[in-house]
Amino acid sequence: MKIMLSKALLFTILFSSPFILSTNAQKGGLLETKKSPYIKLRNVNIEDVKWNSGFWGDRMGQCEKTMIPYMKEIYMDRALKNFKIAAGIEQGEFWGSWWHDGDFYKWMEALVMSYADTRDKETGRQLDELISILARAQDKDGYIHTAIQIGHGIMISGFTNEQKFNGKKRWASLQDHEVYNLGHLFTLAAIHYRVTGKTNLLNVAIKAADNLYAVFKTPTPELASLIFNPPQIMGLIELYRSTGNKNYLQLAKTFIDMKGTGNWKGMESQDNIPVHEVTEAVGHAVTGTYLYCGIADVYAETGDTILLNVLQRLWEDVTFKKMYITGAVGSYHKLTIGKENVHEAFGVAYDLPNATAYCETCANIGNAMWNWRLLGITGDSKYTDIMEQVFYNSMLSTIGLEGKSYFYTNVLRWYGKDHVLLSQDAYQRWNLPRGGICCPPNTVRTIAEMSNYVYSLSDKGVWVNLYGNNTLKTLLSDGTPVQFIQETNYPWDGAVKITCEQSAKKEFSVMLRIPGWAEDVTLKVNGTAVSRQPSSGSYFELSRKWVKGDVLELNISMPVQLIEANPLVKENTNKIAVKRGPLVYCLESQDIEENVSLKDIIIPGDIDFKPMYKKDLLGGVTVLQGKAWKNVAETNWSSALYKIMKVPKPKEVNIQLIPYYAWNNRGVGEMAVWLPAAR
């Protein structure tokens, strides 16, 4: 049993940690792929991009001022207490979920990114204090998992289900989430090292990874049954990239090879068959997308074409058969297919229900992370399109506009107070529980890291993936310094101005992403139109010897687009969705004329939506206003089974669509993304 520490000793531990060896940032990317041999596009360094207000800049500011501190106070202080108990600093019982340590690591990752942005001394001091506690909590052999280390307490499942436990062995159950938590620790430590140059947290991760290697280097069916939730593969690759220790690369490959060899099988995960035999996305959508990210990371280091072929098959299956228009994945709360139970999972092809959609936020973010890795491997803009689709829609929809409330699921149809709640559904976004819910810290760290997705680098030059107000100051692969300022009101309009702020001594290229949804694009350099027409769904290359003051003016038209689904998606037969630019729109009952129900709204095929920016609505959004039809068909059926069809003249009604991400911020009401259409 660990003893209590005196205040004097605790102060020495917190502020004189022997692990702190350096104070200089190591200059690395969120994914440090500069030396990865099978990568076409590399990441810029974490601090090379700064937001300058605008859509994402405002959210980064809210993240630093509201999301991160509020989450600590309401959600993470209990997780920190678990580490203090494990360290012997405090006494008590464990309280939380099996994955609560991993939630804490994700929240710390957001804090590290905030520190990278602000270099706030108090944030840096807070990080050192937290890391010293983690180091004290770690067992001598490197093992760290507070629930099992403490060994007794209350385990939380879901939002409120509490269960007393007493005594747990290491590596005994897949539900214990040991490797899951370690994966997030490894990723956090690598990013912290790149931002700060300090090895205090890196040393904790190295000890834990060495312990994991000792346990799993010789795989068995029993061990293979523990790895259904696999962020440890991503984390091990980042540790390998930070340390050069090939054991971590080998262990990441081992975890992939172990899939399909365990005693535990089921549609809950991806453990039924070996990875190289996989032909479609099945099972739990979060563990699936995390696994696909890990496979992509291993490919980037090894060039194993079998893994690349698997990724391509999976991507086509998900993108063309199992992905929602919002970029969300994971149709089912729970369903039985044959003898298998499916939970929080991919469904069968084209089965995309709206009102009962699960679309867990972590799965949606995992989809974006996976496509980001595929972009790095291939340089193909189709992957960037999906990243953007997720970020503006099914990732942002989880969090309330005030930055303190969250959805776990992300439905596309809501019936208001009469909606039948399924697992994890809620009538309104909920404030954070103290138990352990994975999606909120995942959302916050993703918002904190958004600047790292904007640009990529190659030997050719700079690739512009996403648009927003920011400054890029980086080095090309040959050491050439470059600096650009991007100015835009994106996503509300498609005018983007990019100004060169530093002259270069050599010619290099700027590759501008032209979104797949773009219909009409113009591009000027220093006021002169380019000779070639940019085409949608590609990167447009501009090569020149850039000098200070050069200006790129990209204008992507943003007409309102009516989208229809593949006829095999029976849920959306004779329905349309509405998009403008990267944003999916929805109709809420608050934006319909009085005494008109949302279920009676029909969208005429020739509807003329008028975009209008409203700065005082929902934090400032562009709405789409138009005239729809009210269904006035016979509704009084009494006891009749059949009637002669009559086609009355529809009544015009005014409607206003809002961006999907902003729904449910004005009280409980009805909402629909897919709306009945008249051609």
Which one is predicted more confidently, 92 or 167?
Answer: 92
Q: Which of 268-272, 301-305, 567-571 has the lowest mean pLDDT?
A: 268-272
Q: What is the pLDDT of residues 360-370, one digit of tens each?
A: 999 999 999 99
Question: pLDDT band at 606, cuts 50/70/90?
Answer: very high
Q: What is the pLDDT of residue 47?
A: 95
Range in 260-264, 323-327, 620-624 the model is least confident about: 260-264
Are 463 and 456 in contact, with CB atoms under 8 Å apart? Answer: yes
Quote the pLDDT of residue 649: 77
**pTM surpassing 0.75?**
yes
Q: Residue 472: beta bridge partners?
A: 49, 484
Instruction: Go through 295-328 and write b for each residue having 16 or more CB atoms within 10 A of its CB, e for each that does not.
Output: bbbbbbbbebeebbebbeebbebbbebbbbbbbb
> For 92-96, 290-294, 625-629, which range has the lowest pLDDT when averaged over its residues?
92-96
Instruction: Compute the average pLDDT of residues 445-468.
Output: 97
Lowest pLDDT segment from 9-13, 22-26, 187-191, 485-489: 9-13
Question: Which pLDDT score is estimated for 8?
Answer: 37
Asked whether the predicted pLDDT for residue 16 surpasses 80, the reply is no
For every residue of 287-341, DSSP letters joined together read HHHHHHHHHHHHHHHH--HHHHHHHHHHHHHIIIIIB-TTS-B--EEEEEETTEE
Compute the CA torsion angle 115, 117, 118, 121 (nearest 10 deg): 20
Check pLDDT > 60 for residue 657: yes
Model confidence at 624: pLDDT above 50: yes
Report the percentage of the chain scoring pLDDT > 90.
76
Taking all residues of the chain, what is their mean pLDDT, rounded to a whole number?
91
- pLDDT over 50 (residue 2): no
Band the pLDDT of 427: cuts 50, 70, 90: confident
Q: Cα–Cα distance between 104 and 93 in angstroms, integer?
A: 17
* pLDDT average, residue stretch 582-587: 98
Looking at the predicted structure, is the pLDDT value of residue 22 above 70?
Answer: no
Q: What is the 3-state secondary structure (H, E, C) of 14-68?
A: HHCCCCCCCCCCCCCCCCCCCCCCCCCCEECCHHHEEECCHHHHHHHHHHHHHHH
Q: Which of 51-55, 387-391, 645-649 has the lowest mean pLDDT?
A: 645-649
pLDDT of residue 186: 98
Going by C-beta distance under 8 Å and a sequence separation of 6 or more, which residues neighbour residue 531?
Answer: none
- Residue 158 in this model has a pLDDT that exceeds 80: no
User: Comparing 248-252, 280-284, 481-485, 637-641, which segment has the lowest mean pLDDT?
Assistant: 637-641
The confidence score (pLDDT) of residue 634 equals 61
Q: Which of 43-57, 566-580, 641-655 has the lowest mean pLDDT?
A: 641-655
The yes-or-no verdict on residue 264 having pLDDT over 80 is no
Domains and CATH numbers, the chain: 266-398 (no CATH), 455-556 (2.60.40), 560-678 (no CATH)
pLDDT band (50, 70, 90) for residue 436: low
Q: What pLDDT is recorded for position 227?
A: 85
Sequence-distant (6+) residues with CB within 8 A of 368 are: 327, 386, 387, 390, 391, 395, 446
How much is the average pLDDT of 303-314? 97
Amino acid at 166: N
pLDDT of 21 strictly over 80 = no
- Cross-strand partners of 602: 629
Q: Given pLDDT bands bounded at 50, 70 and 90, which one contains residue 342?
A: confident
Q: Which tens digit of pLDDT belongs to each residue from 98-153?
A: 889 999 999 999 999 999 999 999 999 999 999 999 999 999 999 999 999 999 98
pLDDT of residue 15: 33
Q: Is 287 buried (19+), middle (13-18) or exposed (0-12) by CB count in 10 A?
A: buried
Higher-pLDDT residue of 35, 8: 35
- At residue 329, the pLDDT reads 97
pLDDT greater at residue 162 or residue 275: 275
